[in-house]
Amino acid sequence: MIRYEDFAKVEVRTGTILQCEVLQGTKKRFYYLTIDFGPLGIKHSCAQLMDNYKKEDLIGKQILAVVNMPPLKIKDVYSEVLVLGVPDEQGGCVLIVPDKKVENGKKWY
């Protein structure tokens, strides 16, 4: 088990997806997302969402993401945040999203 102090180090924030592109040349199927985190600025993420989401359906969607992880290089880009989701029965990813619109950059508690 982890202690609350360890869990509290994970910084989960709200953001809104501004752009979504297919990341070409990778073994796995990724979208390259541009996300607005309000006062934290614009960040990017590579997310395996293609099984459940069309590009156009992701634009404007508010999401939750871990923003205090080190960047991960995938192909020629960096994934700066980890968008949160859970697997469905087919192995695709279902996003964890706020059920009401809130300000971008809000920290969970």
What does the pLDDT look like over 9-29, one tens digit per residue? Answer: 999 999 999 999 999 988 888
Residues 94 and 71: their CA atoms lie apart, in Å, by: 22
Against a cut of 0.85, is the pTM above it? yes
Region at 33 (left for phi over 0; alpha for psi -120 to 50; beta for the rest): beta
CATH numbers and ranges of domains, the chain: 4-95 (2.40.50.140)
| CA-derived radius of gyration, the chain | 14
- Residues 47-80 have pLDDT tens digits of 999 999 999 999 999 999 999 999 999 989 999 9
Tell me the two tokens of residue 67.
């923003």
Burial (CB < 10 A; 0-12, 13-18, 19+), residue 34, is: middle
Q: What is the DSSP letter of 18?
A: E
Amino acid in the structure at residue 45: S
Residue 109 scores a pLDDT above 80: no
Residue 91 scores a pLDDT above 90: no
